[in-house]
């Protein structure tokens, strides 16, 4: 595996931030654009698989409609490794928080992301995200 340049690592770190902010702040278009056109999100142990930008957009619209208060994602220990085919394997921990407006949040989710990231039209995007939850308050809607 070859090393990522500092610029590539910075850009991919931006992808992780964009994904979290779009998810939390209610931007389904921006959220779906974090994925390739055929991108996939899988959530275990919920056995949820969402494929394609239109389905990812719809998933985020439904998710936002059921929220009460606010949600915040926090990723840590991001590790990026370039594969021989030029794609990047990304791994990080997830903590997500839910809170009523004006109050401090509670931990809602804890897990690990395992990502397949590719350069798509000059922009780094997720081709596949596998989120394995250690524990979660999220329910399938």
| Confidence label for 141 from pLDDT (cuts 50, 70 and 90) | low
Return the pLDDT at 138: 77
CATH number at residue 92: 3.10.450.50
- In a domain, residue 110? The reply is yes
What is the CB neighbour count within 10 angstroms for residue 35? 25
Closest to 126 in 3D by CA, of 139, 135, 138, 113: 113
Evaluate whether residue 1 is within a structural domain.
Answer: no
Query: Are the C-beta atoms of 49 and 59 separated by less than 8 Å?
Result: no
Q: Which residues span the domain enclosing 34?
A: 6-136
Tokens of 6: 């500092």
Residue 141 lies in a domain: no
Q: Is the pLDDT of residue 30 over 90?
A: yes
Q: Could you report the per-residue pLDDT of 37-49, keeping only the tens digit for each?
A: 999 999 999 889 9
Q: In angstroms, rounded to a whole number, what is the distance separating the alpha carbons of residues 81 and 59?
A: 29
Query: What is the number of structural domains in the chain?
Result: 1
Q: Give residue 137's pLDDT.
A: 86
In a domain, 77, yes or no: yes
């Amino acid at each position: 595996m070859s090393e990522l340049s500092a610029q590539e690592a910075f850009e991919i770190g931006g992808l992780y931030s964009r994904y979290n902010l779009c998810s939390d702040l209610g931007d389904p278009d921006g959220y779906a654009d974090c994925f390739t056109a055929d991108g996939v999100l899988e959530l275990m142990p919920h056995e949820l698989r969402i494929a394609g930008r239109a389905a990812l957009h719809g998933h985020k619209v439904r998710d936002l409609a059921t929220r009460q208060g606010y949600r915040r994602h926090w990723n840590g220990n991001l590790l990026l490794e370039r594969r021989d085919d030029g794609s990047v394997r990304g791994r990080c921990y997830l903590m997500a928080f839910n809170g009523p407006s004006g109050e401090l949040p509670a931990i809602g989710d804890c897990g690990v992301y395992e990502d397949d990231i590719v350069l798509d039209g000059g922009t780094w995007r997720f081709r596949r995200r596998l989120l394995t939850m250690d524990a979660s308050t999220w329910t399938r809607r």
